[in-house]
Amino acid sequence: MEKPIPLLRSFLFAPGNHPRRVEKAVTLDADAVILDLEDAVATAEKVATRDAITAALRQPRTGLLYVRVNAADTEFCCGDLVAVVRPGLDGIILPKVESPATLTTIDWLLHQIERERGLPEGAIDLIPIIETARGLTHLDAILATATRVKRIAFGAGDFTLDVNMQWKRDEAELSFARAKIVTASRAAGLEAPLDTVWVDLQNPEGLEASTRAALAYGFRGKMCIHPNQVEIVNRVFTPSEDEVAFAERVVAAFEKAEAEGVA
């Protein structure tokens, strides 16, 4: 019997330079925690924060642990990877991916570090964030080279800034990008992508509406920026009992037909 694929519904960001927030985040119900070295960390603190993150990788936690490194075209990315790729790390979140060459380079570097550290080849997951016009335009080519990538993520904050778009509460302006990301992921044989964060912390109803819209588009997970968002995201992306029962009936019917030679 195949091992079931775990639900990865909620990815909670925690600033890598705030140890107490990290300690709390890894005890919560998020399916994965993302220790942040990028937007949440000032330039002057980035190098020092690597040590705090490597310490966090050694601590017990309830879910998976990822690190968002700085973008590949910055002076910090390579040093980030060398510092954090080690036992205890489940994956890397790579922001602002815009070309196949970026993924090829980062994948190669990860292979070298895995080999040097005695990690199994391909052990470190890689989730690119698509958050620019160039990234969205080149998405099919990017995914064609994504040998390590299981899923991608959408970053609406930087995307809307890049294309001079207004990010409104109903998020109707995100429709094209969301549809493109889901469709390209499916065509490339990847798992369903992760949706963008919801930034209005005082509007849980808006978060739920955003999450349900993402679910309708074909996303099966969402990035979170506050612990209070995790429960809503997990609930929306958890299949109902009726949905599970229907899926089981479909599988049973297919297996029966296959056994009878009529599938």
**Alpha carbons 90 and 43: distance in angstroms, whole number:** 25
The answer to whether the CB of 84 falls within 8 A of the CB of 57 is: yes
Asked if 45 and 75 count as a contact pair (C-beta separation under 8 A), the reply is no
Give the pLDDT band (50/70/90) at residue 3.
very low
Q: Which CATH architecture has domain 10-238?
A: Alpha-Beta Barrel (3.20)
- Tell the residue number behind the tokens 């549809």, with chain if given: 179
* CA gap 188, 22 in Å, rounded: 34
Reported as a pLDDT band with limits 50, 70 and 90, residue 106 is very high
Please write the tens of the pLDDT for every residue from 203-262: 999 999 999 999 999 999 999 999 999 999 999 999 877 776 776 787 777 777 777 777
The one-character DSSP state at 207 is H
Please tell me the predicted confidence (pLDDT) of residue 250: 74
Tokens linked to 204:
């849980």
CB 84 within 8 A of CB 49: no
CB 127 within 8 A of CB 94: yes
**CB of 33 closer than 8 Å to CB of 64:** yes
Alpha helix ranges (H) inside the chain: 19-25, 46-56, 77-84, 100-117, 133-137, 139-144, 156-162, 175-187, 204-217, 230-237, 241-259
Per-chain mean pLDDT for the chain: 94
Q: Has residue 189 got a pLDDT over 50? A: yes
- Nearest 5°: the CA angle 208, 210, 213 is 110
What pLDDT does 1 receive?
A: 40
pTM greater than 0.75: yes
Predicted pLDDT at 5: 54
For residue 179, pLDDT beyond 70: yes
- The domain locations on the chain are 10-238
What pLDDT, in 10s, does the model give residues 30-82? 999 999 999 999 999 999 999 999 999 999 998 999 999 999 999 999 999 99
Name the band, by pLDDT with cuts 50, 70 and 90, for residue 183. Answer: very high
Which pLDDT value is given to residue 2?
Answer: 45
